Structures are given as structure tokens and as C-alpha cells.
Amino acid sequence: MRKVITVDGPSGVGKGTLCQALARDLGWAYLDSGALYRLLALAVLREDLRDGDTQAQTDLLARLSIDFATTDTGVAVLLNGEDVTSALRNEDCAAMASELAAKPEIRAALLDKQRDFAADEPLVADGRDMGTVVFPQAPLKIYLTASAEVRAQRRYKQLKEKGDCVNLSRLTAEIAARDARDSNRAVAPLKPASDAVVIDTGALSIESVLSKVKSLVSEFIR
């Protein structure tokens, strides 16, 4: 566990951008744990197990072949060999992932899969419970935060640039509702580990966050 950096925080706070840049700069592996929940969600939807029992859903997880491949544009996610990167981003998949993420049995079944990522190489792990549950011994734990308004603004800008029609106040309300659900769930609620370094990304550029974290890396990781 000497070389694991955990980065937790709510949706839209900039974890993915930070973790990918950090992993690239350090030459470390990157775990997008949210993608694992989304992958299972996609498979559950495709196999029509949305209303299936949790056992059927965990059995399905055991049968999935999951791979992450580095590409010029970022990380591609493969499910049974198929590139499902963009399918994972749709709203149905996000909603199903959030439902599955609230089930203790599903979280338990994903634990070893997540820990395997750190078995052979140093790892930057991105999620909600990386520092609190999955890698509690990690020497450097970061918790990113920003207000729901700031995160909604960022998402609004991204969606507008893609040409989507969006409503800022609705986005803000959705983000605040998701935060409340993630923070109040009984199992692995979203919260900083007691030894995490908390960084508010609201007023910081990605470059400043990255340089702050890199100076922590040289301080904490030997």
C-alpha cells in the first residue's frame, strides 16, 4: 500500500481530470471506480436485470470481463471486449449505477476488483470511498470539494459546448440531490477520510489543483 493515492469527492468536482493528469505525470495506473459501477449498471440494463435480485446482479458481475485501455483521448472502457466508454455516460446508466452503489452486497463484490488494480503497480484511485473503505492504508488521500452551484456551472458549460439543451437551475438541483443521496446512504457514504487533505476546487484551475497535489505527493510518498 506504499504507492496508492486516493482521490474522493462528489460528482463534477474534477476528480477524473485530476487523476488522469496525475497518473500520466507519475506514470502510475489509474482506477476510475465509478466506471466499475457504471459498467455493472450497463450490463444489468442489457441483461434486463434492473428489477432482478441482488444475487443475480452480483452473479452477473462475476461473469463480466472488464478492461481499461489508454487512448490518445483518455481512457477507453471495455466490457467483454466492446468499447462502451460513451454508453456509460448516459443518464439511464448513471441512475442504475447510483441504485447499485447503494447495495452493500454490490459494494462488497467490487472491493477485490478495485484492490486488484493496486496489486502490481502504483495507483491513483478515483471515487467516493477510495480513502475510507477501499484503500484505507493509502499514504496520501485527497478529498476534492466544490459547491453544487460551481459544479453545476461547469457541467452546464460542458453540455452547452456539446450542443445539449440544459437548464442551470435544474442541473444544480439534480447535483444537490445526488450529493444528499451519496452522503446519506448507509453504506460507504461520501465523506473525507479522517486523514484526507481537503481541497476546494471552486476557485482553482485544474493546473493549480494538480500542482498542489504533486507537491503533496513529494511530501507523502517515498
Q: Nearer Cβ to ligand DC, position 33 or 85?
A: 33
For position 34 contacting ligand DC by CB under 6 A, the verdict is: yes
Q: Segment contacting ligand DC (CB under 6 A): 21-29, 122-130, 148-156, 204-212?
A: 122-130
Written as one letter, the residue type at 60 is L
155 close to 94: Cβ distance less than 8 angstroms: no
List C-alpha distances in Å: 127 to 55, 81, 112: 24, 24, 15
Q: Nearer Cβ to ligand DC, position 33 or 57?
A: 33
C-beta of 37: minimal distance to ligand DC in Å? 4
Classify residue 58 by burial, with Cβ atoms within 10 Å: 0-12, 13-18, 19+.
Answer: middle
C-beta of 170: minimal distance to ligand DC in Å? 18
Q: Nearer Cβ to ligand DC, position 89 or 157?
A: 89
Q: Segment contacting ligand DC (CB under 6 A): 45-53, 68-76, 125-133, 153-161?
A: 125-133
C-beta of 20: minimal distance to ligand DC in Å? 13
For position 101 contacting ligand DC by CB under 6 A, the verdict is: yes
Number of residues that bind ligand DC (CB under 6 A): 11
Q: Nearer Cβ to ligand DC, position 98 or 172?
A: 98
Please select the residue that binds ligand DC; options are 9, 14, 127, 131, rule is CB under 6 A.
Answer: 127
Q: Nearest-CA neighbor of 9 among 178, 205, 164?
A: 178
Please select the residue that binds ligand DC; options are 18, 22, 33, 132, rule is CB under 6 A.
Answer: 33
For position 11 contacting ligand DC by CB under 6 A, the verdict is: yes
C-alpha atoms less than 13 angstroms from C-alpha of 115 in its C-beta half-sphere: 13
Q: Nearer Cβ to ligand DC, position 177 or 198?
A: 177
Q: Nearer Cβ to ligand DC, position 198 or 211?
A: 198
For position 128 contacting ligand DC by CB under 6 A, the verdict is: yes
Q: Nearest-CA neighbor of 220 among 154, 137, 158, 110?
A: 137
Binding site for ligand DC (CB under 6 A): 11, 33-34, 37-38, 97-98, 101, 127-129
